[in-house]
Amino acid sequence: MRAIWTGAIGFGLVNIPVKLYSASQQSDLDLDMLDQRDHAHIKFKRVNEHTGKEIPWNHIVRGYKYQGDYVVLDEKDFELASPKKTKVIDIINFVEEKDIDSVYFEIPYYLQPEKSGAKAYNLLREALHKSDKAALGNFVLRNKEHLCVIKPYGDVLVLNKIRFAEEIKDPAELSVPRNTKPKAEEMKMAMTLIDQLTSKFNIEKYKDTYKNELLKLIKAKAKGKEIKHAPLKVTHRKSEDLMSQLKASLKKAS
Protein backbone atom coordinates (compact mmCIF):
# COMPACT_ATOMS: atom_id res chain seq x y z
CA MET A 1 0.00 0.00 0.00
CA ARG A 2 1.05 3.58 -0.63
CA ALA A 3 0.69 6.19 2.10
CA ILE A 4 -1.61 9.09 1.17
CA TRP A 5 -0.63 11.35 4.09
CA THR A 6 2.31 11.59 6.48
CA GLY A 7 2.23 13.47 9.76
CA ALA A 8 1.54 12.84 13.43
CA ILE A 9 -1.25 12.23 15.93
CA GLY A 10 -1.31 14.91 18.62
CA PHE A 11 -2.15 13.10 21.88
CA GLY A 12 -1.85 15.80 24.56
CA LEU A 13 1.83 16.82 24.44
CA VAL A 14 2.74 13.48 22.82
CA ASN A 15 3.27 13.41 19.06
CA ILE A 16 2.94 10.02 17.35
CA PRO A 17 4.48 10.04 13.84
CA VAL A 18 2.16 8.10 11.51
CA LYS A 19 1.34 7.37 7.89
CA LEU A 20 -2.22 7.24 6.61
CA TYR A 21 -3.34 4.46 4.25
CA SER A 22 -6.68 3.88 2.55
CA ALA A 23 -8.56 1.06 4.31
CA SER A 24 -11.21 0.49 1.64
CA GLN A 25 -11.37 -0.40 -2.04
CA GLN A 26 -14.03 -0.55 -4.72
CA SER A 27 -15.55 -3.97 -5.38
CA ASP A 28 -17.78 -3.06 -8.31
CA LEU A 29 -17.05 -3.93 -11.94
CA ASP A 30 -14.91 -1.51 -13.94
CA LEU A 31 -17.36 -0.34 -16.61
CA ASP A 32 -16.09 1.97 -19.37
CA MET A 33 -18.11 4.69 -21.08
CA LEU A 34 -18.53 4.02 -24.82
CA ASP A 35 -20.06 5.71 -27.84
CA GLN A 36 -23.31 3.82 -28.53
CA ARG A 37 -22.71 3.95 -32.29
CA ASP A 38 -19.29 2.29 -32.61
CA HIS A 39 -18.33 1.38 -29.01
CA ALA A 40 -15.36 3.77 -29.11
CA HIS A 41 -14.01 4.61 -25.66
CA ILE A 42 -15.11 8.01 -24.33
CA LYS A 43 -12.27 10.24 -23.12
CA PHE A 44 -12.48 13.40 -21.03
CA LYS A 45 -10.16 16.31 -21.74
CA ARG A 46 -9.14 19.39 -19.76
CA VAL A 47 -10.06 22.19 -22.13
CA ASN A 48 -9.49 25.96 -21.91
CA GLU A 49 -12.97 27.50 -22.19
CA HIS A 50 -11.61 30.47 -24.22
CA THR A 51 -9.27 28.76 -26.70
CA GLY A 52 -10.86 25.30 -26.79
CA LYS A 53 -7.37 23.78 -26.53
CA GLU A 54 -6.49 20.85 -24.24
CA ILE A 55 -4.41 21.88 -21.22
CA PRO A 56 -1.69 19.63 -19.68
CA TRP A 57 -1.80 18.97 -15.91
CA ASN A 58 1.35 20.99 -15.22
CA HIS A 59 -0.35 24.15 -16.54
CA ILE A 60 -3.39 23.81 -14.27
CA VAL A 61 -3.65 25.82 -11.05
CA ARG A 62 -6.49 26.23 -8.56
CA GLY A 63 -8.21 29.48 -7.73
CA TYR A 64 -11.08 31.02 -5.79
CA LYS A 65 -13.31 33.66 -7.36
CA TYR A 66 -13.31 36.66 -5.05
CA GLN A 67 -15.05 39.96 -5.92
CA GLY A 68 -15.11 39.05 -9.61
CA ASP A 69 -11.48 37.98 -9.96
CA TYR A 70 -9.66 34.70 -9.33
CA VAL A 71 -7.14 34.42 -6.49
CA VAL A 72 -4.72 31.65 -7.49
CA LEU A 73 -3.48 29.31 -4.74
CA ASP A 74 -0.46 27.00 -4.74
CA GLU A 75 0.49 24.15 -2.37
CA LYS A 76 2.36 26.50 -0.01
CA ASP A 77 -0.77 28.63 0.41
CA PHE A 78 -2.79 25.61 1.52
CA GLU A 79 -0.19 24.76 4.15
CA LEU A 80 0.19 28.37 5.30
CA ALA A 81 -3.56 28.58 6.02
CA SER A 82 -3.01 26.18 8.95
CA PRO A 83 0.47 24.60 9.13
CA LYS A 84 -0.42 22.47 12.16
CA LYS A 85 -3.59 20.93 10.73
CA THR A 86 -1.83 19.88 7.52
CA LYS A 87 0.71 17.87 9.53
CA VAL A 88 -1.02 16.87 12.78
CA ILE A 89 -4.20 14.89 13.54
CA ASP A 90 -5.06 16.84 16.67
CA ILE A 91 -7.09 14.85 19.21
CA ILE A 92 -9.69 17.27 20.59
CA ASN A 93 -11.34 14.96 23.10
CA PHE A 94 -12.51 11.40 23.72
CA VAL A 95 -16.07 10.22 23.15
CA GLU A 96 -18.37 7.21 23.26
CA GLU A 97 -18.50 5.95 19.68
CA LYS A 98 -22.20 5.09 20.05
CA ASP A 99 -22.87 8.81 20.57
CA ILE A 100 -21.83 9.53 16.96
CA ASP A 101 -24.72 8.80 14.59
CA SER A 102 -23.82 6.66 11.57
CA VAL A 103 -25.00 9.42 9.22
CA TYR A 104 -21.77 11.29 10.00
CA PHE A 105 -19.33 8.49 9.11
CA GLU A 106 -17.57 8.75 5.77
CA ILE A 107 -14.30 6.95 4.83
CA PRO A 108 -11.97 4.65 6.86
CA TYR A 109 -8.15 4.79 6.84
CA TYR A 110 -5.41 2.78 8.54
CA LEU A 111 -2.83 4.53 10.71
CA GLN A 112 0.66 3.02 10.77
CA PRO A 113 3.29 4.36 13.19
CA GLU A 114 6.80 5.35 12.19
CA LYS A 115 9.46 3.43 14.12
CA SER A 116 10.03 6.34 16.48
CA GLY A 117 6.33 6.44 17.37
CA ALA A 118 5.69 2.72 17.92
CA LYS A 119 5.67 2.93 21.74
CA ALA A 120 3.30 5.90 21.89
CA TYR A 121 1.08 4.34 19.18
CA ASN A 122 0.81 1.15 21.23
CA LEU A 123 -0.04 3.17 24.35
CA LEU A 124 -2.86 5.08 22.61
CA ARG A 125 -4.27 1.89 21.06
CA GLU A 126 -4.30 0.00 24.37
CA ALA A 127 -5.71 3.00 26.27
CA LEU A 128 -8.59 3.24 23.79
CA HIS A 129 -9.19 -0.51 24.15
CA LYS A 130 -9.25 -0.28 27.94
CA SER A 131 -11.37 2.87 28.18
CA ASP A 132 -13.74 1.69 25.43
CA LYS A 133 -13.58 5.21 24.03
CA ALA A 134 -12.82 6.73 20.62
CA ALA A 135 -10.61 9.74 19.96
CA LEU A 136 -12.22 12.68 18.17
CA GLY A 137 -9.82 14.85 16.18
CA ASN A 138 -9.37 17.10 13.17
CA PHE A 139 -6.79 17.50 10.41
CA VAL A 140 -6.42 18.68 6.82
CA LEU A 141 -6.30 16.16 3.96
CA ARG A 142 -6.27 17.19 0.28
CA ASN A 143 -6.80 20.85 1.11
CA LYS A 144 -9.93 20.27 3.20
CA GLU A 145 -10.40 20.09 6.95
CA HIS A 146 -11.95 16.90 8.29
CA LEU A 147 -13.32 15.72 11.59
CA CYS A 148 -12.23 12.19 12.38
CA VAL A 149 -12.67 9.38 14.87
CA ILE A 150 -9.73 7.14 15.82
CA LYS A 151 -10.37 3.73 17.35
CA PRO A 152 -8.63 0.34 17.60
CA TYR A 153 -9.30 -2.32 14.97
CA GLY A 154 -7.42 -5.36 16.20
CA ASP A 155 -3.76 -4.31 16.35
CA VAL A 156 -4.29 -1.28 14.11
CA LEU A 157 -5.62 2.19 14.79
CA VAL A 158 -8.32 3.12 12.27
CA LEU A 159 -9.21 6.69 11.42
CA ASN A 160 -12.74 7.30 10.13
CA LYS A 161 -13.44 10.64 8.51
CA ILE A 162 -16.77 12.01 9.72
CA ARG A 163 -18.88 14.80 8.30
CA PHE A 164 -19.46 18.17 9.93
CA ALA A 165 -23.04 18.94 11.01
CA GLU A 166 -23.27 21.57 8.25
CA GLU A 167 -22.69 18.84 5.63
CA ILE A 168 -25.83 16.90 6.60
CA LYS A 169 -29.04 18.00 4.91
CA ASP A 170 -32.02 18.84 7.10
CA PRO A 171 -34.63 16.03 6.77
CA ALA A 172 -37.46 18.38 7.82
CA GLU A 173 -38.50 18.81 4.17
CA LEU A 174 -39.20 15.08 3.79
CA SER A 175 -42.75 13.84 3.99
CA VAL A 176 -42.67 11.10 6.66
CA PRO A 177 -45.21 9.98 9.30
CA ARG A 178 -44.84 12.14 12.41
CA ASN A 179 -46.52 11.99 15.82
CA THR A 180 -48.32 8.75 14.94
CA LYS A 181 -48.19 5.49 16.87
CA PRO A 182 -48.78 2.01 15.44
CA LYS A 183 -51.39 -0.29 16.95
CA ALA A 184 -50.22 -2.29 19.97
CA GLU A 185 -50.81 -5.64 18.22
CA GLU A 186 -48.84 -4.51 15.15
CA MET A 187 -45.96 -3.34 17.33
CA LYS A 188 -45.91 -6.64 19.25
CA MET A 189 -45.75 -8.64 16.02
CA ALA A 190 -43.06 -6.37 14.56
CA MET A 191 -40.93 -6.85 17.71
CA THR A 192 -41.40 -10.63 17.44
CA LEU A 193 -40.22 -10.53 13.82
CA ILE A 194 -37.17 -8.47 14.83
CA ASP A 195 -36.34 -10.99 17.57
CA GLN A 196 -36.59 -13.90 15.12
CA LEU A 197 -34.27 -12.21 12.62
CA THR A 198 -31.73 -11.00 15.20
CA SER A 199 -28.23 -12.54 15.08
CA LYS A 200 -24.69 -11.59 15.95
CA PHE A 201 -23.22 -9.31 13.28
CA ASN A 202 -20.60 -10.99 11.09
CA ILE A 203 -19.53 -8.96 8.03
CA GLU A 204 -18.12 -12.09 6.35
CA LYS A 205 -21.66 -13.42 5.88
CA TYR A 206 -22.56 -10.64 3.44
CA LYS A 207 -21.30 -10.71 -0.14
CA ASP A 208 -21.71 -8.46 -3.17
CA THR A 209 -23.95 -10.86 -5.10
CA TYR A 210 -25.12 -8.22 -7.60
CA LYS A 211 -21.60 -7.88 -9.01
CA ASN A 212 -21.41 -11.66 -9.58
CA GLU A 213 -24.83 -11.74 -11.24
CA LEU A 214 -23.87 -8.82 -13.47
CA LEU A 215 -20.65 -10.59 -14.47
CA LYS A 216 -22.64 -13.72 -15.39
CA LEU A 217 -24.88 -11.58 -17.60
CA ILE A 218 -21.83 -9.98 -19.28
CA LYS A 219 -20.30 -13.39 -20.06
CA ALA A 220 -23.61 -14.64 -21.44
CA LYS A 221 -23.97 -11.58 -23.69
CA ALA A 222 -20.38 -12.05 -24.88
CA LYS A 223 -21.34 -15.56 -26.03
CA GLY A 224 -24.38 -14.21 -27.86
CA LYS A 225 -26.91 -15.78 -25.49
CA GLU A 226 -30.37 -14.24 -25.22
CA ILE A 227 -31.03 -12.76 -21.78
CA LYS A 228 -34.56 -13.29 -20.53
CA HIS A 229 -35.93 -11.37 -17.60
CA ALA A 230 -39.25 -10.60 -16.01
CA PRO A 231 -39.59 -6.97 -14.83
CA LEU A 232 -39.98 -6.68 -11.07
CA LYS A 233 -43.09 -4.79 -10.04
CA VAL A 234 -43.41 -3.13 -6.65
CA THR A 235 -46.95 -3.44 -5.36
CA HIS A 236 -48.41 -1.14 -2.74
CA ARG A 237 -50.92 -2.80 -0.44
CA LYS A 238 -53.48 -1.09 1.72
CA SER A 239 -52.48 -0.33 5.31
CA GLU A 240 -55.13 -2.73 6.67
CA ASP A 241 -53.12 -5.59 5.14
CA LEU A 242 -50.22 -4.82 7.51
CA MET A 243 -51.14 -7.52 10.03
CA SER A 244 -51.42 -10.22 7.37
CA GLN A 245 -48.03 -9.17 5.95
CA LEU A 246 -46.45 -9.36 9.40
CA LYS A 247 -47.94 -12.81 10.02
CA ALA A 248 -46.65 -14.05 6.65
CA SER A 249 -43.21 -12.60 7.45
CA LEU A 250 -43.11 -14.46 10.77
CA LYS A 251 -43.93 -17.75 9.04
CA LYS A 252 -41.19 -17.16 6.49
CA ALA A 253 -38.64 -16.26 9.17
CA SER A 254 -39.41 -19.35 11.21
The H or E element containing residue 64 is: strand 62-66
How far out from the chain centre does Cα 151 lie? Answer: 16
Q: How far apart, in Å, are the Cα atoms of 37 and each of 31, 43, 206, 223?
A: 17, 15, 39, 21
Residue 235 has what pLDDT? 65
Cβ atoms of 59 and 72 within 8 Å: the answer is no
Domains and CATH numbers, the chain: 5-165 (2.40.290.10), 182-196+240-254 (no CATH)
Per-residue pLDDT of the chain (254 residues; tens, 9 = 90+): 899 999 999 988 889 999 999 999 887 788 899 999 999 999 999 999 999 999 999 999 999 999 999 999 888 887 777 767 788 999 999 999 899 999 999 999 999 999 999 999 999 999 999 999 999 999 988 888 899 999 999 999 999 999 999 999 999 889 888 888 888 888 898 899 988 888 888 888 878 777 888 888 888 888 888 877 777 676 666 556 778 888 888 877 76
- Do you know the residue count of the chain? 254
Q: Tell me how far apart the alpha carbons of residues 43 and 32 are, in angstroms, rounded to a whole number.
A: 10
Report DSSP letters for 200-227, one per residue: ---GGG---HHHHHHHHHHHHHHTTPPP
In this structure, what are the phi and psi dihedrals at residue 5, rounded to the nearest 5 degrees? Answer: -160, 140
Q: What is the CA radius of gyration of the chain?
A: 26
Say how far apart CA 131 and CA 91 lie, in whole Å.
16
| pLDDT of 211 | 83
Answer yes or no: are the C-beta atoms of 137 and 9 closer than 8 Å: yes
**What is the distance between the alpha carbons of residues 66 and 33, in angstroms, rounded to a whole number?**
36
The β-bridge relationship of strands 5-11 and 88-95 is parallel
